[in-house]
């Protein structure tokens, strides 16, 4: 049994059918982006398959993982609970799937916010999460088109829109999200 098959079998139990299909969509998009921008396909597949593994844990399961793996959250993560699944996923990848590659672990950990000086793999996973084929939000077509042209600009555009949305909802914006935006804007064509 391959690592890919093992993860998929586990995800079937951990995720709803919809979230499972989203994850397969991210895998597909991550393969496409890796071919286009020259990233290791197996690393991209593992990162994509594991990126939302903690997304649908119950509150008790979340508490258990935090305790077991000594996970520490910053101030914004402590109040913005939709951010927790990314960091918890990193620990599950490391300790339950024996993933040692720092780049894969970071791609999972930073897939929601991004961060300054993101690696190519981190950008690919973050962007694949936005453009996968099941995503339906306003503006997704534009991001898909940009993703064929410039990795930095496509992800800048996506994260910028997330920030606009968060601001309009009076939601906290994580410093990593702003740092990612500025990094991408400085580096795009």
By the criterion CB under 6 A, which residues form the site for ligand DGI? 52, 55, 80, 82-83, 86, 111-113, 129, 162, 166, 171-174, 177
Q: Is 72 helix (H, G, I), strand (E, B) or coil?
A: coil
Contact 54, 88 (CB under 8 A): yes
**Quick one: 42 or 56, whose CB is closer to ligand DGI?**
56
The residues, ordered by sequence, that sit 6+ positions from 41 with a Cβ below 8 Å of its Cβ are 31, 34, 35
CB of 113 vs Fe ion, minimal distance in Å: 8
Q: Is 57 helix (H, G, I), strand (E, B) or coil?
A: coil
- Residue 27 is a binding residue for Fe ion (CB under 5 A): no
For residues 115 and 87, what is the distance between their CA atoms, to the nearest angstrom?
13
Partner from ligand DGI, Fe ion, none contacting 87, C-beta within 5 to 8 A by type? none
- Residue 52 is a binding residue for Fe ion (CB under 5 A): yes
**Quick one: 27 or 129, whose CB is closer to ligand DGI?**
129
Q: Is 169 helix (H, G, I), strand (E, B) or coil?
A: coil
**Quick one: 43 or 115, whose CB is closer to ligand DGI?**
115
- Residue 176 is a binding residue for Fe ion (CB under 5 A): no
CB of 1 vs ligand DGI, minimal distance in Å: 26
CB of 91 vs ligand DGI, minimal distance in Å: 16
Closest CA to 91 of 141, 129, 115, 57: 57
Partner from ligand DGI, Fe ion, none contacting 34, C-beta within 5 to 8 A by type? none
**Quick one: 12 or 189, whose CB is closer to ligand DGI?**
12
What is the residue whose two structure tokens read 């994260």? 159
For residues 47 and 39, what is the distance between their CA atoms, to the nearest angstrom?
12
Q: Which of 49, 129, 143, 151 binds Fe ion (CB under 5 A)?
A: 129
Contact 33, 39 (CB under 8 A): yes
> Where do contacts with Fe ion occur on this chain (CB under 5 A)?
52, 112, 129
């Amino acid at each position: 049994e391959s690592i890919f098959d093992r993860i998929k079998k586990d995800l079937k139990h951990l995720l709803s059918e919809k979230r499972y299909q989203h994850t397969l969509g991210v895998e597909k998009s991550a393969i496409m982006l890796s071919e286009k921008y020259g990233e290791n396909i197996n690393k991209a597949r593992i990162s994509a398959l594991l990126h939302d593994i903690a997304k649908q844990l119950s509150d008790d399961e979340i508490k258990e993982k935090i305790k077991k793996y000594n996970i520490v959250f910053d101030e914004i993560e402590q109040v913005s609970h939709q951010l927790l699944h990314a960091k918890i996923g990193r620990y599950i990848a490391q300790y339950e799937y024996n993933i040692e590659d720092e780049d894969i672990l970071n791609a999972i950990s930073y897939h929601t916010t991004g961060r300054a000086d993101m690696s190519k793999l981190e950008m690919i996973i973050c962007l694949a999460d936005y453009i996968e084929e099941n995503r339906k939000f306003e503006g997704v077509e534009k991001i898909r088109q940009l993703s064929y042209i410039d990795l930095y600009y496509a992800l800048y555009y996506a994260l910028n829109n997330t920030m606009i949305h968060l601001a309009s909802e009076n939601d906290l914006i994580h410093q990593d999200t702003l740092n990612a935006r500025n990094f991408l804007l400085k580096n795009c064509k």
